[in-house]
Amino acid sequence: MSPSTHLTSLFDPHIETKIMKILIVDDEKLARARLKHLVSSLINNPELYEATNGREALFTVNATRPDLVLMDIRMPVMDGLESAMHLSHMENPPSVIFTTAYDQHAVEAFEVNAVDYLLKPIRKERLETALEKIAPISANQIKNVRNDNQMSSSRSHISVQMRGHITIIPVTDIVYFMADNKYVRVRTNAERHFLEDSLVSLEQEFEGKFLRIHRNAIVSIAHIRGMEKQTSGRWHVHLKDINETLEVSRRHTAAVRNWIRG
């Protein structure tokens, strides 16, 4: 098992002391085992990490800062495409190569957007060429892939940047989004975060899960307890687990009331 000549020149310990760190993400143990074996036969003493789904991959990336992520697409909790999208928003994101056994739509989307992917069972030579030209995926590229893939494009989690780390919030935990200058405030039962996004695009993405109650706020339908008229004549929404009320603008009162009744 002699390491490839190209890769030794790239990662020659005499020239550069940095060891290549690679994260393997796949929900199937056998698939991870095979990929680990292939990578070790191509690269001298790589530092290998494993994760079993997209969300775990994000935690591992935070903790270990790998150079490259080999990412499966279909996984429980969070799929590979969404995970890669959260990664692409990081500072100095790792490179990502997707792996898939059979995903017609995804493969078409990768081709169109020039994103590298490997078909399982992966050939050693194919992995070698892919390792030689690794490059980070831009946020735009991965966004286009997700759009072209025709799978549901709404995220299962929201990622928030904090001091170079990413924090992951399940969308089901989010109580409301509120626009605040150029940011969007995210409120869960326990935490508050800031997000660089637009309320309009969030509203479109999570249509059916969140309800517009005001020009500056959309609220999770699952977290609404009820609606009450204040002495000022304005309606306010009450939330299930937090003691906060949100004002409903006149324009949206009818829609919110219909939803609560319906």
Chain positions contacting another protein, by CB under 8 A: 27-31, 33-34, 37, 52-53, 74, 76-79, 82, 101-103, 119-122, 151-152, 156, 171-172
Task: Please report how close the Cβ of residue 194 comes to another protein at its closest, in angstroms.
Answer: 24
Q: Which C-beta is closer to another protein: that of 23 or that of 31?
A: 31
Task: Please report how close the Cβ of residue 78 comes to another protein at its closest, in angstroms.
Answer: 8
- The label of the residue with tokens 């006149």 reads 250
Task: Please report how close the Cβ of residue 43 comes to another protein at its closest, in angstroms.
Answer: 18
Which one, of 96, 89, 90, lies nearest residue 72 by Cα? 96
Which one, of 96, 131, 130, lies nearest residue 10 by Cα? 131
Radius of gyration for the alpha carbons in the chain, expressed in angstroms and rounded: 22
Q: Which C-beta is closer to another protein: that of 67 or that of 79?
A: 79
Task: Please report how close the Cβ of residue 156 comes to another protein at its closest, in angstroms.
Answer: 6
Question: How many Cα atoms sit within 13 Å of 172 on the Cβ side?
Answer: 2
Instruction: Compute the distance between CA of residue 67 and CA of residue 58 in angstroms, rounded to an integer.
Output: 13
Q: Which C-beta is closer to another protein: that of 78 or that of 248?
A: 78
Task: Please report how close the Cβ of residue 48 comes to another protein at its closest, in angstroms.
Answer: 15
Instruction: Compute the distance between CA of residue 166 and CA of residue 56 in angstroms, rounded to an integer.
Output: 12
Q: Which C-beta is closer to another protein: that of 33 or that of 63?
A: 33
Which one, of 51, 76, 78, 77, lies nearest residue 66 by Cα? 51
Q: Which C-beta is closer to another protein: that of 157 or that of 212?
A: 157
CA distances from 111 to 71, 75, 84, 106 (A): 16, 21, 16, 9
DSSP 197: S
Q: Which C-beta is closer to another protein: that of 146 or that of 187?
A: 146
Task: Please report how close the Cβ of residue 34 comes to another protein at its closest, in angstroms.
Answer: 4
Residue pair 22/47 in contact (Cβ under 8 Å)? The answer is yes
